[in-house]
Structure 1
Amino acid sequence: MDVIEERCGGADLGKTDVKVCIRVPGTGKRARYEVRTFSTMNDGLLELRDWLVENRIARIGMEATASYWKPLFYLLEATEGIEPWLLNARHIKTVPGRKTDVKDCQWICKLVEHGLVRPSFVPPRDIRQLRDLTRYRTETVRDQARDVNRLAMFLEDTGIKLSSVVTDITGRSARAMLDALVAGERDPQRLASLALGSLQGKVPRLTRALAGDFNGHHAFMIASMLRAIDEADNPISRLSEEIDRQLQPLRQQVDLLITIPGISLTLAQVLIAEIGFDMSRFATAGHLASWAGVCPGNKE
């Protein structure tokens, strides 16, 4: 096969060490391969970088293994003359037979040498930081939603069917009723009288739904769940403020995205955090759709 990269390398990363194979020109037309093991501690990665620079390695591929690739990738990304490639693990493992880390790094080096792999999209630092914020916000919102669902399920244990009448059990009316239950109120009619707005027309149903076997244990559990739901609001707000601050230089792109029907401000923030704003990284719209995982399946 043709040699595309004369000075290249392959790295197989683990939690504690990284095996690296480099390919450099040897005597005559033969190539020289060398394998070394480095620690994944910061001093080990710096030693690895210096070794690559010393051997004038222009490109090195590494498998996307958990988050272990990130420190090495970011270090080499900031090193002049070295282009790190993050490779899809599924593409690398299509050929069976390699059972050791050393063989893996040698195989990755061979793939880069002959141009048989393409790098995965890794956004620039500012977009990566924004992605960290939006993904953490999404997880925090999901955690809060799980707490709300947990609260609704626990109410079933008390015989109270509030969620059968109220759409949002954390809304103003439902929250007032739950707070009253925790405080010691047990009269269904008094609890139902706390309804506000359109729920006032459902007082008879609410009275029936709020009749149950609610005791002190239930009050403690409900209070704990409500506290967890409330406490999640603060980090979500702080994350949203930081996301908005970091997106100020890209405000024009955000404003353009939200003009698309169905794209909210939150979704626009997530889109920029996931794909960035430089569409030249994707050859066609189809490549972008494929990377995002929204291409229709072809089962024929």
Structure 2
Amino acid sequence: MERFELLNPHSAGIDIGSMLMVVSYTDREGMINLREFDSFTSSLYELAELLQKEGIEKVVMEATGPYWESLYNILEKHGMEMFLVNPSHYRNVSAQKTDINDAQWLHQLLAHGLIRNSHIAPELYRELRQYLHEREIYQNYKSDSLNRMQKTLTLMNIKFQHLISDVEGVAGMKLLRAISSGICDGQTLLARIDVTKLKASPEDLLSSLQGEYKQHYIHILSITLKSYDFFKEQMQVYESHIEHTLKELLACKGEAPTVIQQKTKKVRKNQYSFNLKDYLLGILGVDLTEVEGLDEIGLLTILAVTGTNMKKWPTAEHFVSWLNLSPRPKISGGKIIGYERRNNNNPATQAFRLAAHCLWQSKGPMGQQYRRLASTKGSKKAIKAIARKLAVIFYHMVLNKQAFDATRIQPDIEQQKARKIARLQKDAAKLGMIVQKEA
């Protein structure tokens, strides 16, 4: 066999560990060198300067935990093209697995163009993704604190949380704060809220506020409420950082500054306090909230993962395959013997699947298609199919900057009617009957 062509002569491969980096690179004289570096920041900059001095243009590394991110950012700042690969994609040849063998094998694969790069969004999008991740963590903490407060109320045999629609609403929080401050009288507690805005009667609310107001329960409720307020405050802090990052992304577009209107509607729980829709419209260049199922928070998560450069994926099929929303058939002997199942922690995938799941009661065409698929194929397959359709719409709208056209997804009523008639005729034929149209 002829030798593989050398496509990337000025390249390097790095095996990354928690405390040790092994790099294999080709110097300016064409000789392959091996070096070891520790993972301290000074050593990472020393490694980057060495590769830059030797004229290295492309560097490949495997994604091992979070250890790759610091080196990736440093080498990216030094102007090198980075390749991040999944360890399961390159799998070393049959040999003793060592750091040196891994670095040399990565280097060889990159030099001959035999390696696939993972999608890594630009730095600002990575910052945005990290802020979103941290805000979500505090949001979960806040929800956990709210659940523990409701458990404490149950132990006190206080039942008002079952009579109002949302404990985290205005009336619910007023009652929680009043009880945690030591107020035990039902009439006094009831006077702090506007009972006319609640569906429950004042008599039922008064009965629900009668309980065992033991001092240690009140102490637990007060401490948990402070935790709730702290987590909510931290969410607001991260929101300010998220808004600042979105402003930087708008500034990077180089277009006329987008006017961001102040949010006029009341901020609901876990929603953003600033006008997220205007930021998304300015960054993406098209209003994707018009798509049935896609909301602002879900779109922000998808944007932080994918970025706006859809040209990284040649077609929409490549995009949905990267999202693990397309079938992966296993073929043997020319026949499909099954389909591969893969676990995927991609936040963008989860956002598309959540958007599809929310369509189960939608009256639009996407909701109709979801219910039709769920009735025949099951809800799991319906969610994946609709999520794939939403991902294709997202890809084309962002790539072509085209507004959403709802008529393109409208179902063909006559075609559906013809299929239903054909199905009824087939079922009737099995029973020895004939279905005829009325004149």
TM-score band by shorter chain is: 0.7 to 0.9
> 1:277, CA displacement in angstroms?
1.2
1:6 to 2:18 alignment: no
Distance 2:187 2:41 in 1: 65
Q: Which residue of 1 aligns with 2:288?
A: 257
Amino acid at match of 2:320: A
Cα pair distance change 1:16/1:94, threshold 3 Å: closer
Are the counterparts in 2 of residues 193 and 203 from structure 1 also a CA contact under 8 Å?
Answer: no
Are the counterparts in 2 of residues 21 and 106 from structure 1 also a CA contact under 8 Å?
Answer: yes
Give the match's secondary structure for 1:104. helix
Return 5+ residue gaps in structure 2 as ranges.
254-278, 330-337, 340-439
Cα pair distance change 1:89/1:188, threshold 3 Å: farther
Q: Which residue of 2 aligns with 1:110?
A: 108
- The 10-residue stretch of structure 1 (221-230 or 53-62) with the greater mean CA deviation from structure 2: 53-62
> 1:94, CA displacement in angstroms?
7.2
Q: Which residue of 2 aligns with 1:285?
A: 316
Deviation string for 1:35-56 (max 9, x for gaps)? 2111222221122123223333
> 1:222, CA displacement in angstroms?
0.8
> 1:185, CA displacement in angstroms?
2.7
Q: Which residue of 2 aligns with 1:207?
A: 206
Distance 2:206 2:212 in 1: 14
1:151 to 2:149 alignment: yes
Give the match's secondary structure for 1:109. helix
Give the match's secondary structure for 2:84. strand
Distance 1:90 1:152 in 2: 45
C-alpha RMSD of the superposition: 2.7
Alignment of 1:218-297 (within 5 A): 218-248=217-247, 249=250, 251=279, 252-253=282-283, 256-295=287-326
Are the counterparts in 1 of residues 28 and 54 from structure 2 also a CA contact under 8 Å?
Answer: no
Are the counterparts in 2 of residues 195 and 203 from structure 1 also a CA contact under 8 Å?
Answer: no
1:21 to 2:19 alignment: no
Are the counterparts in 2 of residues 12 and 104 from structure 1 also a CA contact under 8 Å?
Answer: yes
> What TM-score does the superposition give when structure 2 sets the normalisation length?
0.60
Q: Which residue of 1 aligns with 2:177?
A: 179
Amino acid at match of 2:85: L
Return 5+ residue gaps in structure 1 as ranges.
none
Moved over 6 A (4+): none
> 1:25, CA displacement in angstroms?
8.8
> 1:75, CA displacement in angstroms?
1.6
> 1:128, CA displacement in angstroms?
1.8
Amino acid at match of 1:289: V
Distance 2:204 2:47 in 1: 70
Aligned length, in residue pairs:
295
Give the match's secondary structure for 1:232. helix
Distance 1:277 1:11 in 2: 29
> 1:62, CA displacement in angstroms?
0.5
> 1:297, CA displacement in angstroms?
6.3
Cα pair distance change 1:201/1:150, threshold 3 Å: closer
- The 10-residue stretch of structure 1 (268-277 or 158-167) with the greater mean CA deviation from structure 2: 158-167
Distance 1:152 1:253 in 2: 41
Q: Which residue of 2 aligns with 1:125?
A: 123
Distance 1:227 1:263 in 2: 34
1:54 to 2:35 alignment: no
Deviation string for 1:231-257 (max 9, x for gaps)? 223332233233233323164235623
> 1:192, CA displacement in angstroms?
4.5
Q: Which structure is higher in RCO with an 8 Å CA cutoff and minimum separation 6?
A: 1
